[in-house]
Copies of this chain bind each other. A is one copy, B any other.
């Protein structure tokens, strides 16, 4: 950044909407060079205890956002990024966005968020429900039970479970808890698509969120019969989510005059269809080719990989045709706790003098594999991989009076690597071969963790070559929407960045980990596959005990 700009160069802007802020990145179309970036935090951040408008308390597990905070990212981060790049805004030929998902809001037919209507300003259900709004679990339970009972064909495409985070569960909660707002909502739309509407003035829907979050499979949404079985008033729900559907990388429209004013970019440039932060990272990591599994590792891990054919993988989050890129089946899987677990350990289980990732990693790295005698199950935040059960919990076995903090820390790092290996093997067993593991996300910076992943999976680890994977991925899609590349694969090859085989497995360590992984699998199956449902009983006991106290 800050290099001398060539006035002949063409640029695109990628905007990555995260949980707490949005980041804009200016990228050169010819080679993907990242020339300027800026971040703008959301003014209201996440509303999870009270509504900003009137301070009213929100129930447990709620998580709302204010959609105007997203516009503020266009108003502030985009011009700041262009300024930082030192380029002429006229050189920008396209813009694309990616978003957390499923993050969803109710709007009028013209896209106006219901929370922006004066009379609904203090109605929590009129706001954006952020991905981590978890108050629709009972609705998700009914969605799953009814689908299983009726043998709905789409259920297997989601590993047998629809998440409480997704469009249908949140929509059913809206209907049943605030029917007035539900009926006022002409549209129920992913923020990923809403922000594109703000940019180009036209409603579109992207195949990625429609498939993964909106249960759109084989060209159809769940049937009216099925919806009626959930709640007769829910029958018309799909009319609120259906809309002009575009493939990823397609041009949704042209930048409106108003959006040009917000961003300082030229009116009329290409605006790409919406996308999701994890999925768009595959393009940034040159991992569009089938078999290249991208693990985006942060507080949790999201795995995305293209496959050549349709398969049903137990416990996957979903498989969607064109869900990562057109022409392939996009598979998504996830581990619901990764960096969160390491953070928990440092904050709540490491004694003074050991309470930093650096110290723990340094001490842990000095030990040979297995010297701690420990195996853990990485279910501190449940399991959303093969088992899809949020009520599972963490376990450590092998503790002795001689066990020291860095040994437990290492066992936790390893447990998440075993979890990733389980997912890779599940894909392979289902006929979706994984040929390469590419790491993106903040945890890629922990060398010990990366070496453990290489040794546990016994394959070389590639690392994404950008610190701003999602924003770069969006920029790649902007270049395709602008017509500078014929498709996402070609743009990814030119503009994406990956370093191959940065960490290589050591044969001896890999063999040692095979033995520990066998123990992990035994624990996994005993506690997760019906050997003993103790964790579910402990959760029920816990919940009852806490309820009694309240």
Contact = CB atoms under 8 A, between A and B. Distances in A.
| Copies of this chain present | 2
**Which of the listed residues A393, A401, A548 has the most CB atoms from chain B within 10 Å of its own CB?**
A401
Given A371-B546, A545-B371, A527 B401 contact: no
9 contacts: A349-B408, A350-B351, A375-B538, A381-B401, A397-B534, A398-B535, A398-B538, A519-B537, A519-B538
A539 interface: yes
A373 B515 contact: no
A415 to B, nearest CB: 11
Chain A interface size range: 35 or more
A348 interface: yes
Interface in A355-376: 355, 367-375
A337 B401 CA distance: 9
Interface of A: 337, 340-341, 344, 347-352, 355, 367-375, 380-381, 393-401, 403-405, 408, 512, 515-516, 519, 522-523, 526-527, 532, 534-535, 537-539, 541-542, 544-546, 548-549
A352 B371 CA distance: 27
Contacts of A542: 370-373, 398
Given A393-B398, A401-B381, A352 B349 contact: no
Given A351-B347, A396-B399, A401-B340, A370 B534 contact: no
Contacts of A372: 542
Given A351-B351, A522-B534, A538-B519, A370 B544 contact: yes
A534 B549 contact: no
Contact of A405 (B349, B371, B538, B541): B349
Contacts of A371: 542, 545-546, 549
Contacts of A380: 399-401, 403
A314 to B, nearest CB: 23
Given A348-B404, A373-B539, A395 B396 contact: yes
